[in-house]
Structure 1
Amino acid sequence: MAFWMLWLVNPAWADLEICNDTHDSQSVAIGYKLDGGWVSEGWWQLEPEACVSPILGPLKFRFYYYLAQGDGWKFDHDRVSFCTQADVFTIRGDGGCEQRGYDRSYFAKIDVGKGAAGYTQLVGEHSTLSSKGAESETAQPAEGVWGIPYRGEAIFHGCTSLFQRAKRTCFFVGGGRKFNVLEDGRTSEEIFEVIDLLAPGDPVRLEGDWAGRFDTTVDVVLRHLETRPANAEDLILKRLQGNWYSVKDANDQFKVFGSGRQNSYDGSLTSMEYLSVMRYCGEFDSEGPYLYTWDSQGGTGLCYVVKELTDNDLVLNYLPRGTELRYRKLGP
């Protein structure tokens, strides 16, 4: 448990990382493009809660592929084939597998997004227990049934009924991620009764299972939810609420509401972002507090140092270049 908490609080900001969020050992292989051709590699043996980074450094491509095999588990692939073998392997080329003495296996696609520096793929997102493993699933304790056990702090953002896969979806933002809680029968109605009493901007503690992830968005099945006292980062976020304009160009404006930032230019709405005030931002951890922003569609996140914040003035330093950005508060 302590290992997962450290990983969740300090997520990888580079590398392609694959983590075993199931309760059984998994053998993992990957497929990726190299020098204009395809390469497949395996196997990494991952015990429960273990991770491996088969691709190191900033990711050059949007799509990678992986395969996970565990006793009693069925892998939901995307019918993308690569060459494999029973022993540890590195195989160049994805064609003529059988003729070259290899096996042909089907992999699942990993979409890391455009321009991603790093990404974490959870094995459980493409793996389900077969009938052979059903007995071991029912024997698991309540914690971890739906994914990786998670405890953390966040800000309540609001709820919507626009998504068809649940009656409604409620959103919490914290630590550079947006957490989705779906009213789909997995999170109890008692917890949704607590959510109904929240107002956007309320600080909360979350406890549940990290059930799935896409980029900076995480689906969480909650076991417990409670309000908490505001910390120093929450108070900075509270002071950021309202309308701001750029000292350099008054047409460049944004409005902060809860954990959202709606940007506009000359009165026309542009991008909608989520934001978190944090003690660290990627590899930066010595100049904080930091403001981390990311596009609501899962775009690349940006880091800023909060250099000055008063009732009327805001000064940010954009990292890594240190470009100074000055804003002033508009009237109510």
Structure 2
Amino acid sequence: MKTLYLLAALGLAPTAALAELRFCNDTDEVVSVAVGYKGAQDWTSEGWWNVDPGDCKGVTVGDGPKTHYYYRVEARGITFEHEAYMFCTIDEEFTIVGDTDCDARGYDREEFVEIAMEGADDHTVTFSATEDPAQVGTGPATDRTANAAGSGGDTGSAQTETGGAALLRNVLRTSPEVETAPGGTYGEPFTITGLFSHCDVLDAGINCYFIHDGWIYTASSYNHTSTVLLEDLNTRELNTTMLFTGDLSSYEGKEAEIVLTSYFETASDGFESERAALQGFWKSADDSQFEVVIHGSSYEEVYEGIPDVPAMMQFMQGCPDAPGDGVAFQLVTPDGLDDRCFFVSYVDDNAFELIYAGRGNTLAFVRN
């Protein structure tokens, strides 16, 4: 339970230029509410507003109307369900700019629930102690009706498809249905056919990686991608070709941060046998201190037990500016500084050999 603070009346007064969020309390306890939104500088969170039992309170925040808001609610003795939209908070009254590095900056990092305004000027959220927070009001309902067990993340539709819709979904192996923000909410919309590499399950979230045309695309629960989608991706076969859709939120070097909204499996690019054979832990046949770990499309070199920065393997026929057209892969690192290319001259269950394009030397490995 957060320490209860009442923000100044000025912060509660609605203005014509701002959308109003209205929070109603149907519990027997005072509830404290925090709100998140996209501010002029960065993602911003503010709190706490206290709402007495049986009362409602209007809140306006930010520098103009937003397409999406986010909220967190807490009350003594009551546990409310939230989604995996992460913002920084503290127990005292606060306005925090930025939704990353919360711990390093002395804040808590906590889950919020999304509100899609969809053109409405106001939205009402009603809190109940006997069920998940229900959203009602002038705008379309945006509450979720089914929760991924134990995930603490975004939730999807509770409806069960039958007939042709279910058959099509099974054939295409499409992503789960979840409520997502309209395209363009978090950046430039895109649709790309690329390779799903793998996911990393972290202490408080999931990162999943795609590679396409020499770029690494990262979808993360820390960056507004539904946890339901990421948990589903984490069950998919490594190195699966997919058509994936979302918003490009930012990029640097050769890595693009994306907010993923949907995906489905497509035909392979023809390199699946080489990728499958290369998976695992390998040791150099010439230097016992040199090892390589390949997981999905991730390629990590380790020397004397010290790992280098992982790279992604972009498979292709031949290497740029090198003679020959055999099966090869080019390394792609987030900073774009490593673009080495190797021909795969031999691979089986126990050994493989690479020819370093441009140098001609052969690297031989045995399974560790």
Bucket of the pairwise TM-score, normalised by the shorter protein:
0.3 to 0.5
Kindly indicate which of the two structures has a greater share of residues assigned to strand.
1
- TM-score, normalised to structure 1's length? 0.47
Instruction: Specify the structure having the higher radius of gyration (Cα).
Output: 2
